[in-house]
Structure 1
């Protein structure tokens, strides 16, 4: 979701139309930002600015580009105050609410066109109103070929600008889908997970495809379980210039394999030693024991922490290629092993005893089920 990951041109859809929602009843389909706004990157309204743009916007054919500058030393901290004329070219500071360490200095070009717009607090598309700070779905480019659980892009609205009803722009931070970062989706990424970033871009307001209900999941021990359809973020990607390379923040690690947790799966807590256990690790251990008890060859099991899913990479020309990064076992290491003959399911809850259900798939044993108690993979204590 940078210049390489998110195309500069985004098609407008016929069903989207900008409608008037201004208290000033001006005709822009957006509400003018009040002087009391606390948005640091767009602080205050320029009182000496004319109500109508100076430039002929029918001739605007450019695409707004965000340029980034290095953060200066504290003694030379950039001002949040907006200045007119040549001073307006000075980089502005955008503090990142996801992570203060991801704050960025930016300028928007071409400057004369950007400075000719006015700032607003909200905008309306069809019958839906959006405000500063909202998380929104963004319609992908028509050339989008990434196979992802989330079909739309996700963005955080930082600023609303308009020159006319036909020229409404949003300055946004992208919320990356796992498929859009270098290396692609990791095994621990949930199907409704996005990654907060400081990658900034200016997009057409008419590419917005609806409001997204997103929450920050802190993954604390006492944090509530996410709903199945809840959009969330817990990780950040430091990539201000949108070059496609950047630093992905680390996550809390669990279980004996010391790997992050995929919230689409289960974590089982051992009260004896305090360790959180991946359900997949427990299932693999149950399969190994079942093979051994039935005098079967060792099963071929590859933990999620030792593999990654098929990943999508965006090339400089904007095309997406798919490659595989799955660890392939050598013939020597897999010699004598077989595919697991048992299917497993971990059962756990506040009103049920924790256990593993094994289903036999061998010929002559189809449908046979076995129940196994769950023991901690570290301290071997029984988990009720």
Structure 2
């Protein structure tokens, strides 16, 4: 059962970006014009008001203290706890921020498609990590990098971490990450 929320005075259900047919409402993801014009910012609309929106910022990995890591995808953003109010005139348009699981299922990501799997605590300046780590390097999966799955233990590995090129890994009919996996010991230990 959905609960109806009565807007406060000055709150709107939606607004249309001037000169377009793009309607913005609460819970939409939007692109905001940056002050330097280099790259647009990504945010989630929390509330629409007359002439402004209350938003929750997404950070790009390079905007955090930890910076961009090898496992970050090109289109990855981190949902922060940083909220703000922006004028509607700074909104460039809509975008879509997918869950990581939905993003890797896309046949082809569009220019306005992003994904999020981490949260960023802006006050503490730290990233909240996900639990799924892969390979011997214990890094989260990067959808922009090729990985190979072990036919024994079913774990995923970066070819470079197994001293292989991507080209060589793609040519393999079978891949075993260790001697134990090739002997079937990995499957026996899982049961």
Q: CA deviation at 1:247?
A: 4.1
- Measured against aligned partners, the alpha-carbon deviations of 1:83-139 in whole angstroms (never above 9, x if no partner) come to xxxxxxxxxxxxxxxxxxxxxxxxxxxxxxxxxxx0001111121211211001111
- Is residue 2:13 matched to residue 1:121? yes
- Contact persistence 1:159–1:171 (CA under 8 A): yes
Indicate if the aligned counterparts of 2:25 and 2:47 stay in contact, CA closer than 8 A.
no
Structure 2: stretches of 5+ with no match in the other structure: 184-191
2:105 alignment partner in structure 1: 224
| Residues 149, 175 of structure 2: 8 Å contact kept | no
Q: How does 1:363-382 map to 2 (within 5 A)?
A: 375-378=175-178, 379=180, 381=182
Q: Give runs of ≥4 in structure 1 deviating > 4 Å.
A: none
How many angstroms apart in 2 are the aligned matches of 1:159 and 1:120?
8
Matches within 5 A, 1:328-347: 344-346=165-167
Partner of 1:237: 120
Work out the number of aligned pairs and report it. Answer: 176
Distance 1:45 1:274, change over 3 A: closer
**Whole-Å separation in 2 of the counterparts to 1:226 and 1:233:** 17
Cα deviation for residue 347 of structure 1 reads 6.7
- Kindly indicate whether the alpha-carbon contact (under 8 Å) linking 2:71 and 2:141 is maintained by their aligned counterparts in 1: yes
The CA distance in 2 between the partners of 1:215 and 1:121, in whole Å, is 23
TM-score, scaled relative to structure 1: 0.41
* Matched residue SS, 2:72: coil
Aligned equivalents of 2:147 and 2:52: distance in 1? 43
2:153 is aligned with 1:273: yes
Which has the higher Rg, Structure 1 or Structure 2? 1
Distance in 2 of aligned mates of 1:195 and 1:345: 28
Match of 1:176 among 46, 59, 72: 59
Pairing 1:186–2:69 present: yes
- 1:248 maps onto 2:142 in alignment: no
- Distance in 1 separating the partners of 2:89 and 2:124: 25
With over 3 angstroms needed to count, the CA separation of the structure-2 counterparts of 1:226 and 1:268, relative to structure 1, is: farther
Deviates more, 1:223-232 or 1:174-183: 223-232
Mapped to 2, the partners of 1:45 and 1:134 lie a distance apart of: 17
Q: 1:268 to 1:139 in 2, by over 3 A?
A: same
Give me the TM-score of the superposition, normalised by structure 2. 0.78
CA distance in 2, matches of 1:347, 1:212: 37
Q: Work out whether residues 159 and 170 of structure 1, in 8 Å CA contact, stay in contact via their aligned partners in 2.
A: yes
Q: What is the CA deviation profile of residues 223-260 of structure 1, one whole-angstrom value per residue up to 9, with x for unaligned ones?
A: 73663444111111123xxx472343234111122222
Q: Is the Cα–Cα contact under 8 Å of residues 29 and 44 in structure 2 kept in the other structure? A: yes
TM-align CA RMSD: 2.8
Please point out which of 25, 32, 39 is paired with 1:138: 32
Write out aligned runs for 1:63-78 (5 A). Answer: none
Q: Is the 8 A contact 2:150 2:176 kept in 1?
A: yes
Paired with 1:130 and 1:161, the residues of 2 have a C-alpha distance of 11
In structure 1, runs of 5+ residues without a counterpart are 1-35, 50-117, 146-150, 163-167, 287-343, 349-353, 356-371
Looking at structure 2, the residues matched to 189 and 251 of structure 1 have their Cα atoms a distance apart, in angstroms, of 15
